[in-house]
Amino acid sequence: MNIWRISGNSNYKSCILIDNNDKQIYDSAFYFKEKQEDLSFKRKIKFIDIDCSFADISNYFGTSGTFVINDKTKKIFETHFNYIQFFPLICYQYPEKTFWLLNVYNYHDVLDISHCKYDTILNRKGNRVITHIDSYAFKNEVLNLDIFKIILNGKKYTIDLFVTDTFKDIMEQNDITGLNLKKVYEL
């Protein structure tokens, strides 16, 4: 079994989160740590890379660890995966299309730190914390997961989104475009 990290795909349109003045803004990482109860807030997005085509999964430059999906992909996620939710998006450029922002709130302490290669710094409290992982290693508990985020330094880490071969196979079987996976570990 392989563990994959989802990364950006520059072959398709990407989108940014915008305010009412059409200026790029960023989401708070807090919105992507827990299941959100209030889904009434609709984020506004704007697609860039106009010359590129649409994908089923699009890059989202509003925060890391998430992406934008279409209705087809949303249906597949709802059918196969748990601990996810979808935030509705507004896109004035393409009012005929429906887009969703994915929130994966499935966090697990599955890193095998003793076998990872990483960089550390001393934080303000004088504790050594991991800042960047160069080489991942995972505990066997990851075999029970399909799509997840990790706990790092004792906190929910929103930056990276990981998937297993099961997730990859489902996406390929459904011809989902725009997914870019980087293999980071093999069990």
pLDDT tens, position by position, 74-118: 999 999 999 999 999 999 999 999 999 999 999 999 999 999 999
Q: Is the dihedral of CA 88, 99, 149, 31 positive or negative?
A: negative
Compute the CA torsion angle 131, 1, 6, 144 (nearest 10 deg). Answer: -80
Domain boundaries, the chain: 10-105
> Which pTM was predicted?
0.91
pLDDT tens, position by position, 11-70: 999 999 999 999 999 998 888 899 999 888 889 999 998 889 999 999 999 888 899 999
Specify the pLDDT at position 50.
82
